[in-house]
Amino acid sequence: MRIGVLTSGGDAPGMNAAIRAVVRRAIYAGAEVVGVRRGYAGLISGELIPLDVSSVADIVHRGGTMLLTARSPAFMQPEGVAAAAAQASGLTALVVIGGDGTIRGAQALEQAGVATVAVPATIDNDIARTIRTIGFDTAVNSVVQAVDRIRDTATAHERTFVVEVMGRRRGFIALHAGLAVGAESILIPEEPVDLDAVCDRLTRGYARGKRHSIILVAEGASSGFEVAEAIQRRTGHETRTTVLGHVQRGGSPTAYDRVLAARLGEGAVAHVLAGGRGAMMAFRGGDVAPVPYGDVLSGEPSLDRRLFELAAVLAI
């Protein structure tokens, strides 16, 4: 048995821990393991390297990905998929680690005859049928640390801060981090943006003696700069903007993300060993289970609306 592993798309903290789990579980079962560098781009150009137990030593705590990653325009074309499938022909199965673009890629490879299993890893948590993706917990904790610092200077200067966070078209990072830092308002793409309500809450807060206000904006909902400009214009209150950007993608993965990566990576190899393919390993109900790509890609990532309501109640 020869199992391949690659990481693709935006990196996420915990990808290394997932690679380690795949490699060691496969070797434990007596399989040979091959790493593909630079995601699907590297598969097309045949960047395959043998991996052994020591290749994945000392990476469990590191952010980024030892296999490197890429977004590959060539792989979006049928010729690219065919070239990648040809390179993968010697593999019993390929485990791909990444977000929804990566899962779409795995589906395309399946259609070209390559056995694949996917492990969901993206800071955005925007994958259907799984409660969590690898990297989300670390990103949320990074946002919380940054906002706790911003709060110090916001209080010292009695300012309002708008903090823009990542998340692509979804508001998971903004919602979870906003709840964790006690943000006054959280703007996410899943809910209508109501700047009147944001400004009312700010004005009420300052009237009762608040010294600072923090507004979290998901990049998919609005631009942090535009929101700050509108708030300052409407309330007259001094407002600053911080765009956290790629700070959210780096750093040592949290224990939660490492454990999740170990479970999903192990689950992917176990699925291959059981003859499974064409599925993403999902984490839900406390268990790891395969979900067919079609169900993942046609589903909606489920943001818990109750958390949004809770955040609003607690920011009264």
Those residues with Cβ within 8 angstroms of residue 53's Cβ, 6 or more apart along the chain or in another chain: 23, 24, 27
**Bridge partners of residue 36, in order along the sequence:** 6, 48
CA–CA distance, 283 with 130 (Å, rounded to integer): 5
> Which CB sits closer to ligand F6P, 107 or 142?
142
Instruction: Give the nearer residue to ligand F6P in terms of CB position, either 80 or 135.
Output: 135
Q: CA torsion, points 101, 103, 104, 106, in degrees to nearest 10?
A: 130
**Residue carrying the six token digits 């993403």:** 280
Q: How far is the CB of 219 from ligand F6P (least distance, A)?
A: 6
Active-site annotation holder among 100, 124, 137, 257: 124
Closer residue to ligand F6P in complex, CB, 189/205: 189
Residue 257 a catalytic site member:
no
Nearer to ligand F6P, 166 or 268 (CB): 166
Nearer to ligand F6P, 80 or 220 (CB): 220
Q: Kindly list the distances between the CA atom of residue 278 and the CA atoms of 113, 290, 297, in Å, as whole numbers in the listed order.
A: 10, 9, 12
What is the layout of strands, in order, in the sheet containing 287-292? Answer: 48-51, 32-36, 2-7, 93-98, 116-120, 279-284, 287-292
CB of 248 to ligand F6P, least distance (A): 7
Question: How far apart, in Å, are the Cα atoms of 283 and each of 51, 127, 130, 133, 259?
Answer: 26, 11, 5, 8, 11
Provide, rounded to whole angstroms, the least separation between the CB of residue 188 and ligand F6P.
13
Task: Tell me the C-alpha distance between 117 and 276, whole Å.
Answer: 8
Total Cβ atoms within 10 A of residue 285: 8
Interacting residues toward ligand F6P by CB under 6 A: 10, 99, 122-124, 166-168, 219, 249
Looking at beta carbons only, is 34 or 166 nearer to ligand F6P?
A: 166
Tell me which residue has tokens 């795949």: 22
Cβ 152 to ligand F6P shortest distance, Å: 26
Q: Minimum distance between the CB of residue 129 and ligand F6P, rounded to whole angstroms? A: 18
Q: Report the C-alpha gap between 294 and 100 in whole angstroms.
A: 12
Q: Which residue is nearest to ligand F6P (CB)?
A: 166
Q: Report how far residue 167's alpha carbon sits from residue 85's, in angstroms, rounded to the nearest whole number.
A: 31
Smallest distance from ligand F6P to CB 123, Å: 5
Q: Which residues are catalytic?
A: 124
